[in-house]
Structure 1
Amino acid sequence: MSDKTARTHTHVSNRAKNRATVERKPVFKSVLDNPFHVRWPSIPVNLQNLCLARLVSILDGVSETIEKKLSSRKKGLEEKGHELAVSLDSGIDPGHTAFPPSGGEGPVTPSTVPITAPDGKKCPTILQHLSIGINEVTRKLEAQVQASRNFITLSSSDTALPPQVVPSHIAWVFICRTDIDPPILIDHIPHLVAACNAALLHASAKRNFSPIRLVTLPKGSELSLATALGLRRAAALAVDCHAPGLAILEDVIPSVDIVSAPWLVPHGTHRQLIPTHIKQTRTSAPKDMKAAKEHRAIARTAAKAEAKKRRQASALQDKQKKVVLSTPVDIVADAEGD
């Protein structure tokens, strides 16, 4: 139902001030929608709440690990800052004491979190199978689409090329759609998921791959998801197919529609035509069309006359300049002598 709701745009046109003197009436114009648009799956609110609850249960223990990692890193940075202050006071080169060597710790992501926590305890296994954040999920989906392509490399030597690293395939993508502002930040997610599903469908003849399920979570789920992860914000989350605990989501699979694009379906499979969608755009038109046309014709004639007048004035100025420049110097001198 959300796809059929009307959107009202109240932006004032840049040309509205030129037509303020003409009385206008509202009219509606029909516009064809873009057919290459992948829509978000329609998921009931109760199913969204169920997916959120089960996802939070899968992430049990992750928040403690990430919080300990962040606190340990913050403490290390404070110690390094103290060492830097001491070294500056004593005149020692801070390059050997204050900063970590090249290749040190970067942003805390699932790939940088170690297997063991700072307190020596083992980290949850699920942490190694997560992609957190819009950018991280986007990179993961793009890498999966890139890995599904068949590259042909021509080489004159007999040396074997290194094998291509295939990333683990994503099974679920959870998006806090109603909590993201502006929504254009995640408009590309359905298209990437559809591209991945098309690639998986093409490769299903060789290997058995299940499509990626895209799930939109209810309003206010970003706070619950961020709390379960121990982060300040978490608007998107991707879970790969090897993550433990995904069995509790199997009964939800039949209720989640597969995001696909008919123009990406491989040849030889059933293709579904996209239904035509006509949008109604609200605009305005003059009440008296005949008077508006006459007024427009008068204004156009006046504009042409004004432009002609400017061109004539400019041509006259150019002609006067040419006359002054073409006057010989000796004639001017003789005139002064007389």
Structure 2
Amino acid sequence: MGLSSKNEAQKELFTESYDYTLPPELIASEPADPKESARLMVIDRKTGQITHTVFKEILSFIPKGCGVIYNDTKVIKARLFGKKASGGRVELLINKELYTGRFNVLIRGRVQAGSSLIFDDRLRAEVIELCEDGSRVVTFFDMKEGPLGFEALLPHLERLGHMPLPPYIGRADTKEDETRYQPVFAKNEGAVAAPTASLHFGDALFAQMCERFETLPVTLHVGAGTFKPVEAETITAHPMHSEYYQIPAKTAKMIDSDKEILAIGTTVTRTVEFYARTAKQSGACDLFLHPGNPPLRVNRLLTNFHLPKSTLIMLVASFLGLEETIKVYNEAIEKRYRFYSYGDAMLIL
């Protein structure tokens, strides 16, 4: 896993410590079918025991009295294919709305400020700004209705857009991905990547969890920045992306209590931990959790297996520590677990 001879505390700060080599065939290009048949690795931090099971058994591992928090964001069809006024092809991925009528996007294809992008006879975009990080700021407009805010843009995305599957899946999206790359409890539109730990729940299993445990939502609209690798030599030098979040009053009350909490995914963990530090129920979450900044409130975590050198594997290490994270990932590779968005899951207790 690319480890140096530095002591453990120093290793935890170096990006290179979070690298590993994954056999390409372990990258899941399709979800398990049925989804609850995905494999589940359960890690007990108190005993160090690792249990290998299947996801449909997850409820038997969650301690009684534990509260569960999930992310009810809904993935939008954020990928658009079009052309420049000059005729060249472009691919656009919406990241987030900056403020009414202006959107931060990623564009594949060379564009300049002032470039017009054509998606069909109704939908157009204009490039307003080229950002230093490689992203772009655009405005969208309907040739009949004029400028478009987020809500007015959604019908156009539903009509023309594609599900924003991560590039490592290595294929174009299909009609099936419209439901498979979407949690069953998705409600509030705005994410451009799925909160992947949620994808393992079918309707029946989620209903059973709600019956057995107090289960409440937060909303964090996952942005494209979630896939951005950490490129700085030390993880603390990484500029963390921000994402809009909102926490309902009932969920905030649970967080404020002494009830133990299981977070369904890294997005929930970041949201809960940001609230625990700021007491703000909505805003922009830019919290970076890692071994030097561990969780204060979340007791247990359900998550997938993440990209090397990503903020997500560093978040896992904030629960397990670097050494144990390396051990767990090595075991997952040895046991042929499936990785990334459509892959298998781990439950950290």
**TM superposition score normalised by structure 1:** 0.21
Higher fraction of helix: 1
**TM superposition score normalised by structure 2:** 0.21
For the pair shown, the structure with the greater C-alpha radius of gyration is 1
Query: Quick one: higher RCO (CA 8 Å, sep 6+), 1 or 2?
Result: 1
Higher fraction of strand: 2
